[in-house]
Amino acid sequence: MNNENDRQELYEEAKGVIAPLLEKYGCTLEQLYSDSHAQLYAVVRQEIYVRLRRQRGWHLAKIGRLFGKHHATVINAIKRWDEVHGKQDKA
């Protein structure tokens, strides 16, 4: 299985979390998949990471594969979310 097929399968599994947030924030999946460090995209990614981890029980590497990120990037993003929104906030 190639990375694009893996990513598509992961998206299909996660779209119940992702699609409403894309609409809420007014951005596209392609923008989130990009390497952009724009604040808006970073915040949306953080919220998606938190929701997939806490509401769906996804492991960090799986979340990272969906976005083409290392699991350590996911850990740091979740920590940043918790610093701003509090750990009890499940997004």
What pLDDT, on a 0 to 100 scale, did the predictor assign at position 42?
94
Q: Which domains, ranges and CATH numbers included, belong to the chain?
A: 3-85 (1.10.1750)
Cα separation values, 35 from 13, 41, 42, 45, 70, Å: 22, 10, 10, 11, 13
- Spell out the per-residue pLDDT of the chain, length 91, in tens: 577 889 999 999 999 999 999 999 999 999 999 989 999 999 999 999 999 999 999 999 999 999 999 999 999 999 999 999 987 655 5
Residue 84 is predicted with a pLDDT of 94
| Three-class DSSP category at 16 | helix
Check if the beta carbon of residue 48 is closer than 8 Å to that of residue 78.
no
